[in-house]
Structure 1
Amino acid sequence: MDNPGAYSVFYEITAIISVAALVGLIGTLLRQPLVVSFIAVGILVGPVGLNLVTDYEQVELLASIGIALLLFVVGLRLDLHAVRTLGTVVLGAGVTQIAFIAIAGFFLARLLGFAAVPSLVIAIALVSSSTIIIVKLLSDKREIDALHGRLTVAISVLQDLMVILAMIGLSALAGAKGADNHLVTQMLLTAGRGVLFLAGVGVMMTVVLPRLLPHMARSTELLLLFAVAWALALAALAEVIGLSKEVGAFVAGLALGWSPYRETISARMVPLRDFLLLFFFIDLGLRLDLRLLGGQIGIGLLFALFLLAGKALTVMAVVGLMGYRKRTGFLTGIAMTPLSEFGLIFVGMALGQGHIGDEIVGLITVIALISIGMSTYMIIYSGQLYSRLSRLLTVFERRVPYREAGSGSVESLPQADVILFGLGTYGGAVAKHLLEHGRQVVGVDFDPQVLAAPPKEGLARVYGDGEDPELFDYLPLQRARWVMSALPGRDTNLTLLKAVRERGFDAKVVLSARSQYDARVLEQAGADLVLCPFADAAEQAADSLTEAMETLTREAPWPVDAREVRLRPGSAFAGQTIEELPLRAETGVSIIAISRAGRSYFDPGPDFRLDAGDRLVLLGEPENLERAVEYLERRQLSEPVQESQQFTVSELQVPEGSPWVSKTLAELNLRRTIGVTVIGIERGEQQITAPTAAEVIQAGDRVVLAGSRSAMETCEGACQPPR
């Protein structure tokens, strides 16, 4: 071996990664966060465990790169607009929680005997909640887009920003250390260097990067390499001028966050970040002295309980005061419990600068482990916890907890035909078509951008979370014909179905499913109709790939001008024959082929009857084709609504002496003579469903008929005995 030391480092890193993979698998099977598993790996491979690591500097180097990339990605992904969308509640809850935890945490640490500087470090470290763990746990529960999920993430990002500002202050203190007590001067110098640093980055953002990035983006590998180099270069420069590499990496991310390559860089960077961040948590475990932890477990548990109570209570108080329900405040509050990685990074910086000792690092790590463990189970079982504590939480809810936004209110609608949960891409399109059909819709969503959309006649937008069972007490369920969920989560739909049924809602419930398995589960749970948006879209897409257009262009001896247009549901031309459709006379365009349900009909005859969903292949001049498409896309939306309002199902009792008595249904032929359909007969205790044409009508029969109201009146007169 030319360099035995290099091989030793290689073997150690290999051993660490192998142990991390094994322990991570065990932790995953036990439903524990990977952060806990990785810290356990550090303890396991360290001096108190297997003692596999001798070169701590290599692990620390990889950990430093991982921290830099973590902060780079945070800056890259930071969306200030997303923080602003939830408005004052994020700022109010975030600032209140930060202030309370910092002040109360400082005095609690002092009360427990810690000196002023360590107490301040502890207080700042406790402020931030783990965005990574919060996002992971809420994503696993598919609650990341729920109201409480969005609030939690937004508040967590705000807390991260506060800790980053504390890192800048800590860097300034480090620059002032040993400067003959000229602390203010050194801090001003550090601040000045920071301003120059930001100004330089600003020049790069506006002048250099816009010209450089397009060339780098010609190769995704080169773009990723540049992003890593940019992050590490600014991290190193920031450390040189007296700030910190963490601050430099964060600013590097902000500098690239404006670019159109932001998502590509982020997607490519995250796996590398996660791999290197592994060594940060392992490094924490390596530094733990278990001999010091024995006496700190009690104090760590006390601080963890303080975090749980303090963060939950402050969030519930502010969120409730601002008009949200107690459930939203509770779920947001308990999700804020896990101590942030930024707190651990901040403590590591304080240790490196000599402000604290190893025992403080050990204490914060114990608090992190306990808080992460508690929050994992509390978030997983948050629904059950809320059900048990709901009555006690009423104090955190205002008398009128729900705010309505948008173009109408529930009370303004004389009748809500459909209550629609979710007004996103899919739900918004459903609402649009329902409005076109003349339906009155109550849309429920928690996205402020959706609720702030321009008002639409017939649509009332209600602010709320579909997973909140108490929301249904405020909705006009008894005035609605349908309740529809455009939300994709299976558990969300089951919760919605249960809440609707428990309130005695007898009309139809329509749910959405991601998969056929979810659809079967929802059907078995009692849903009247289950929609599969992805499957339906896939089926329609496959149906669109017909052979008609391809065959036409292949067989024609010269280029042809052809267009394909679909007859949408409600088309004015559905049910007409080609002969009845004056398309050629109106536009000069011919129908050369029709695709229906995967089949193609070429050169259809004049008696070919069109159906909704047919795809018509049109042949003609380009300008005529445009006119033909516009002509065929005309729709009649008022007639279906009017017909549905005229249609009825009712019972008609056949009296003694009726001319119907002793006649078969075939002889009566009510469908042809009057325009009604017999769908059932009730004879005493016997119910005859789908009666045959040979069924004989008897006196006293209750005949169930379906048809228009006018036809029902005619039927009632025809059934009476002659005078």
Structure 2
Amino acid sequence: MTELVWVGTAYIGGLIASRLSFPPLVGYLVAGYILHSFGIELGQTLARLADIGIELLLFTVGLKLKLRSLLRREVLSVGGLHLLFVTGIASIVFLWLGEQTLGGLILGASLAFSSTVLAIKVLEDNGELSSLHGRGVLSILILQDIIAIALLAFADGRQLSPWAFALLILPVLRPLAHRLLTVSRADELRLLLGVSLALAGGVSSEIVDISADIGALLMGVMLADHPQTDDLANKLWGLKEVFLVAFFLQIGLADLPDRAQIINALGLLGILPLQGVLFFVLFLLAGLRSRTAFISSLALMTYSEFALITTGAVVKANLLSSEWNATIAVAVAGSLAIAAPLNRYSHQLFSRFEPFLTRFEKKTGHPDRLPESIGMAEWLVVGMGRTGVSAYNALHQQEKRVVGLDADPTVLESLLAEGRRVIYGDAEDPELWAGLPLDRVKCIILTLPDFEARCSAVRQLRKREYAGQIGTICYFPEEKQKLGQLGANFMIHPLVEAGNQLARQLGRDNSRLRE
């Protein structure tokens, strides 16, 4: 019965939050406070489920950990400098408040972390996870997560056991783990393998007297370069989110914030825009354009779920008073509630402030720069996924002068290595269409997966009075209608067209057989 109350209340809270355009986890935290007010206590079952959620979270972070992505200039400079600056300021504030300096230092560092859950969700919903700024944000989040793990280990206060070095045998087990993932072809088997490895990492770490979180992370790192890690991470995503609900519930169940704690939380929320400004300035200094810096800064302008975890560890180690648990919980929930709608309209917000923000750009040779020419191209394919590449190849076989455009640096690198003519560009960027020379271009083909991105591109092209043809894809009748109203000339449903092509091809083959 208790479990049903937990799950049902969390669902209702998450549903109400999502309907109000807030992240569901804001609703989970509120649900915890409501349950606490009704006298429902935190049980061992919920605490263990919360621990599993954290272990799965860190395991998936390990799966995405690639050293090359962390060594990029903007990742180290922006992520590192932001962390040092915020940690220093927070430490001074905690010292001024009379709190323990060491606890304040750890908590200050944790306040520099951004919400991994919200940022990835926003980028994924906008179809920007693989874009240049999406990869930059993800790399900074992973860097922050690694530092958070180190802080957790430090705050935990455990003496390093000689048996801890037994974890060094994990690389030896790497071929076995890779083999297990390769032979686990069924979806449920891969899911079970991922959960098993995450829990095994936690148990093995606890045996040698190390935090279970670190063991789960190391297990993920062990699989990081396997070709199926993305698939495994995607399968674990939903399960991890379910278990993390228990973590957010237990925060609210632990204690209700009093007036002083709410005031402190509001103070933390008041300085959150300064963190966004700091991110923006650092991104500009790293050579990114103002648009990329602005969208990335909004995605990172939150307090992280890890702040809740590190605060709990600091309080448990008696480095700070227990009142900070409730304060940080309210601050994290409030930051997510503020950031969610801002990120939803990040492109529109930048368009409004673009004349002011572009003044601060540095003129550098960073890959984020806009293309200045497309040569003698007469056809432009925007979005070089499977559909875009197929369109490019068909035009190339007809000896058309065609150029591809995409916002994913890894896609461009691969296509350039294959000898295709491709350039970098974000289709939702008005500055791209305003400056791109299209006088020779007869037709532009839009194969972007995101509907809003296609609408934005058509709108911008017609706004600059592009007179050529615009062809694009659509998946629903209402999409076709809106794209047509915006100015697209030709629209097809990829799956419908595949069926038509299959029928035509089989029909021709049967006719030949009869002849």
Q: TM-score, normalised by structure 1?
A: 0.65
Aligned pairs for 1:131-142 (under 5 A) are 131-142=116-127
Partner of 1:42: 32
Partner-residue secondary structure (3-state), 1:338: coil
Partner of 2:514: 603
Partner Cα distance (2:373, 2:15) in 1: 54
> What is the letter of the counterpart of residue 234 of structure 1?
G
Aligned pairs for 1:293-692 (under 5 A) are 294-310=259-275, 312-399=276-363, 403=367, 411=373, 413=375, 415-453=376-414, 460-544=421-505, 546=506, 594-595=508-509, 600=511, 602-604=513-515
- 8 A Cα contact 1:43 1:285, kept in partner: yes
Structure with higher RCO (Cα < 8 A, 6+ apart)? 2
Distance 1:412 1:228, change over 3 A: closer
1:275 to 234, 239, 242: 242
Larger relative helix fraction: 2
- 8 A Cα contact 1:441 1:458, kept in partner: no
Partner of 1:230: 197
- 8 A Cα contact 2:116 2:304, kept in partner: yes
- 8 A Cα contact 1:320 1:401, kept in partner: no
Partner Cα distance (2:220, 2:105) in 1: 28
Residue 225 of structure 1: CA displacement? Answer: 4.2
1:52 to 30, 37, 40: 40
Partner Cα distance (1:332, 1:249) in 2: 28
Unpaired stretches in structure 2, ≥5 consecutive residues: none
- 8 A Cα contact 2:289 2:369, kept in partner: no
- 8 A Cα contact 1:421 1:445, kept in partner: yes
Partner Cα distance (2:182, 2:383) in 1: 38
2:111 to 105, 126, 136: 126
2:13 to 17, 23, 38: 23
Distance 1:351 1:82, change over 3 A: same
| Deviation sequence 1:481-540 (CA, Å, 0-9, x none) | 223222122211111112112222222222232334312210122112224333322432
* The structure with more radius of gyration: 1
Distance 1:94 1:425, change over 3 A: farther
Partner of 1:155: 140
Residue 40 of structure 1: CA displacement? Answer: 0.9
Partner Cα distance (2:63, 2:223) in 1: 6
Residue 220 of structure 1: CA displacement? Answer: 5.8
Partner-residue secondary structure (3-state), 1:480: coil
Partner-residue secondary structure (3-state), 2:445: strand
Distance 1:155 1:539, change over 3 A: farther
Unpaired stretches in structure 1, ≥5 consecutive residues: 1-10, 177-188, 549-593, 605-723
- 8 A Cα contact 1:234 1:252, kept in partner: yes
Residue 170 of structure 1: CA displacement? Answer: 2.8
Larger relative strand fraction: 1
Give aligned-pair identity as a percent.
28
| Deviation sequence 1:280-314 (CA, Å, 0-9, x none) | 100001113322xx12333323322323322x233
> What is the letter of the counterpart of residue 376 of structure 1?
A
Residue 340 of structure 1: CA displacement? Answer: 1.6
Partner-residue secondary structure (3-state), 1:479: coil
> What is the letter of the counterpart of residue 34 of structure 1?
P
Residue 327 of structure 1: CA displacement? Answer: 0.9
Of residues 467-476 and 259-268 in structure 1, the stretch that sits farther from structure 2 once superposed is 259-268
Partner Cα distance (1:228, 1:219) in 2: 15
Partner of 1:197: 166
Partner of 1:108: 93
Distance 1:39 1:111, change over 3 A: same
How many residues align? The count is 515
Partner of 1:62: 49
Residue 365 of structure 1: CA displacement? Answer: 1.1
Partner Cα distance (1:127, 1:221) in 2: 37
> What is the letter of the counterpart of residue 305 of structure 1?
G
> What is the letter of the counterpart of residue 281 of structure 1?
F
1:13 to 3, 9, 12: 3
> What is the letter of the counterpart of residue 425 of structure 2?
G
